[in-house]
Structure 1
Amino acid sequence: MNGYISHELQRCLEVKGNYLLLVRWETIEDHMIGFRQSDEYQEWKRLLHHFYDPFPTVEHFERVAIERRTPCDQMMK
C-alpha cells in the first residue's frame, strides 16, 4: 500500500476491552485517499467493521518527540 509505514495494536491496562491501533502513514492523503478508496480498505471494512462498538474515532497526529532508551550499562560509562 502506497504510503503505509507501520502499525501497532496496544491493549489498555486499565479498561478491559479497550485497544489503541496506531497506523503510520507517510501523509494524511495516503491514508484518507489512497487507503480509504482502495480495494484493501473495502476488505478491511468487510472483515472488521461489524466488531466495532462503538465505532472508533480516527484522528491524525504528528510526532513531536522521540525517546530513545539507553541500556543501563552504557549510562554508567
Structure 2
Amino acid sequence: MILEHADIRIDPARAADFEAAILHGVQTVISQAKGFRGFKVNRSIESPGRYLLMIYWDTLEDHTVGFRGSDAFTQWRAIVGPFFVQPPVVEHLELVGKS
C-alpha cells in the first residue's frame, strides 16, 4: 500500500468552506478511483490554513497514472483547486514499520 501525502495551503478565512469541499471531493470523486483504500484529512493547529490530506492507494500507479490521468482528477481539482493559495506539495510514502 502507498500513502499519498498532500500538504495543502488555503486562506484560513475560507476554512469552513474548504473543509466541506475536500470531504465532498474525496467522498464523491476520489473514493471511486481504482486502488483507493481510504483517507485522512488533518488541519494544522499551529499554522492556520495548512491541511494534510493522506490517501491510501493500492499502488503508486493507481494514483499517478490511473487517477491523475482520468477525468476524475479534473473533477477533483474543480472542487478543491479554487481554495489553494499555492500548489499542494505531494509525496508518496511506503510503510517501513508500525506498532
Q: Same fold (TM over 0.5)?
A: yes
SS at match of 1:23: strand
Q: 1:23: how far off?
A: 0.7
Establish whether residue 7 from structure 1 lines up as the match of residue 19 from structure 2. Answer: no
Matches within 5 A, 1:1-77: 1-67=33-99
Report the alpha carbon displacement of residue 11 of structure 1 after superposing the two structures with TM.
0.8
Report which of the two has the higher share of strand: 2
User: How far apart are residue 60 of structure 1 and its match?
Assistant: 0.6
TM-score by length of 1: 0.79
* Aligned residue pair count: 67
One-letter code aligned to 2:59: T
Unaligned 5+ segments in structure 1 are 68-77
Deviation at 1:13, TM superposition (A): 1.5
Higher helix share: 2
Unaligned runs of 5+ residues in structure 2 are: 1-32
**Which 4+ runs in 1 deviate beyond 4 A?**
none
Distance 1:17 1:51 in 2: 10
**CA displacement at 1:42 relative to structure 2:** 1.2
Whose radius of gyration is greater, 1 or 2? 1
Q: TM-score, normalised by structure 2?
A: 0.63
Bigger relative contact order, structure 1 or 2, given CA contacts below 8 A and separation 6+?
Answer: 2
Give, in angstroms, the shift of residue 3 of structure 1.
0.7
Identity %, equivalent residues: 37
Other structure's SS at 2:81 match: helix
Taking only aligned residues, the RMSD between alpha carbons, in angstroms, comes to: 1.0
